[in-house]
Amino acid sequence: MLIVARRLPVGEALPALGLLAVATLTIGPRPILLGVAWLAAVTPRLVAFDLAEHRLPDAIVLRGYPAVLAAVLLDSWSRGVAPAGPVLAGLACGLVFLLLHAAGGMGLGDVKLAPLLGVLAAAALPGGALVWLLLAFLLGGIGATVVLIRRGAGARMPFGPPMLAAAWLTLLLA
């Protein structure tokens, strides 16, 4: 985490450290914090990218897969439970977003991020993946309503920020 923190600009490092501190207080000293540390480190940058460019870069998102999966496996092992539940929940979240992408309503970056957020939510909280999905679409709906009112029909809204906000809200419930 220290190596990642040194690379982040101060404008991103401070929010990342704040997110990690809140998650640590909420979740406690569990191996899942390794995945949450990755999420904390990338959240400010992903939000900035998606708001500015309407995309979530693969160079950031795909690097999370090994860290998050390792954290989930270690967390499951440390608690003596099978990792299949959170992993399958994450895959289900990815499938939901893939179907929405196929229907033309979701970007591919959102599809790639969804399994990571779903598996973290499911590992941190029983039923967390479902809670995360519901919160993501609730926050996205509120955001879309604001965008529609301010910019009119046809305006685009990035969905990464509501997805990430929902993930952090779900982690706060853990």
In 3D space, the residue among 91, 84, 171, 87 whose CA is nearest the CA of residue 136 turns out to be: 171
Residue predicted with more confidence, 42 or 154: 42
The answer to which of 15-29, 53-67, 120-134 has the lowest mean pLDDT is 15-29
Does the pLDDT value for residue 5 go beyond 90? no
- The label of the residue with tokens 């809200």 reads 169
The mean pLDDT value for 148-167 works out to 93
CA 171 to chain centre: 10
| Range list of H helices, 103-159 | 108-124, 128-151
Residue 3, burial from CB neighbour count under 10 angstroms (0-12, 13-18, 19+) = exposed
**pLDDT for the residue 3:** 39
Q: What is the SS3 assignment for 154?
A: coil
The mean pLDDT value for 92-113 works out to 96
Per-residue b/e over 22-56, b at no fewer than 16 CB within 10 Å? ebeeebeebbbbbbbbbbbbbbbbbbebbeeeeeb
**String of DSSP letters for 73-118:** HHHHHHHT--THHHHHHHHHHHHHHHHHHHTTSS-HHHHHHHHHHH
Share of the chain above pLDDT 70, in %: 95
Question: Degrees (nearest 5) of the Cα angle 61, 139, 123?
Answer: 50
Asked whether the beta carbons of 162 and 140 are under 8 A apart, the reply is yes
